[in-house]
Amino acid sequence: MNYQHTFHAGNFADVHKHVVLTRILEHLRLKPAAFRVIDSHAGAGRYDLLGAEAARSGEWHAGIERVLAAARQATLAGAAHSEARQELPLKLLAPYLGIITALNPDGTLRLYPGSPLVAKARMRPQDRLIACELEPRAASSLKAVLRGEARAKVLTIDGWMALNANVPPTERRGVVLIDPPYEDADDFMRLSAAVSEAHRKWPTGIYLLWYPIKRRDAADALALRLRRLGVPKILYCEVTLGPPRADAGLVGSGLIVVNPPYRLDGELRILLPALARAFAPDAGFTLGWLARER
């Protein structure tokens, strides 16, 4: 799968990924000690939803646009004391929605943040970000987006190599986001191997792994490999828009969280059905544990 992110920025998979990332960052912020965010495949940093690539796909209309519309409706419904099941969980979504609003201060949805900007928005003065991007155009854009940000460092390096070189961080707290483009069929295999090696070096770190769902075979094989690693705490969640497509297009977004923060699973039980309803009437979700300490 060639996942060129400029075409897919702000789609349902982006929203799913960034909502969960934001919740993890909120949990890290609960303690005063510094944390580090390591983004192995950081992308361009910021995306123009009205630009040629995003406009051609239009995927953001069924992603962030629908979620913002649902949030506005939930705000109005809350004022009218409507039933809770009809509303988005605005309190849990507030940090994420605040990032989108701050990026589009005039109220017109045009810009969408990549994961480095999501992280930057929730970092405190003591926190740090390492954003890795090898593709020249994306790396140049990322450097421009983060220029002048003393808390962030952009590395023009292969994300898989950077992951091994940057764990454990000096802060000993933080999250590693692994979100490769899946241009190579081996990326699914490399994902489980990379997690195994990184977890061996930094067993207390939080790891957030994104994967595309076209068919069940690749996702299920990844889950099986991760179960065999012997890592004690692995949570997963998926959002699917429907059955596999004849053109082998993206039908689902998957996330795996190694060492999830306490209560994250409970938050996702509230967030996932609400997000699925916002994306599409027939969208579904799954949430469970690949491994859990007894």
Residues catalogued as catalytic: 179
State how far the Cα of 112 lies from the Cα of 43, in Å rounded to an integer.
Answer: 12
Rounded distance between C-alpha atoms, residue 251 and residue 280, angstroms: 12
Q: What is the 3-class SS of the chain, one letter each residue?
A: CCCCHHHHCCCHHHHHHHHHHHHHHHHHCCCCCCCEEEECCCCCCEEECCCHHHHHHCHHHHCHHHHHHHHHHHHHHHHCCCCHHHCCCHHHHHHHHHHHHHHCCCCCCCEEECHHHHHHHHCCCCCEEEEECCCHHHHHHHHHHCCCCCCEEEECCCHHHHHHHCCCCCCCCEEEEECCCCCCCCHHHHHHHHHHHHHHHCCCCEEEEEEEECCHHHHHHHHHHHHCCCCCCEEEEEEECCCCCCCCCCCEEEEEEECCCCCHHHHHHHHHHHHHHHHCCCCEEEEEEEECCC
AA letter at 87: E
How many whole angstroms separate alpha carbon 135 and alpha carbon 47? Answer: 15
CB count within 10 Å of CB 26 equals: 17
237 Rama sector, left if φ>0, alpha if ψ -120 to 50, beta otherwise: beta
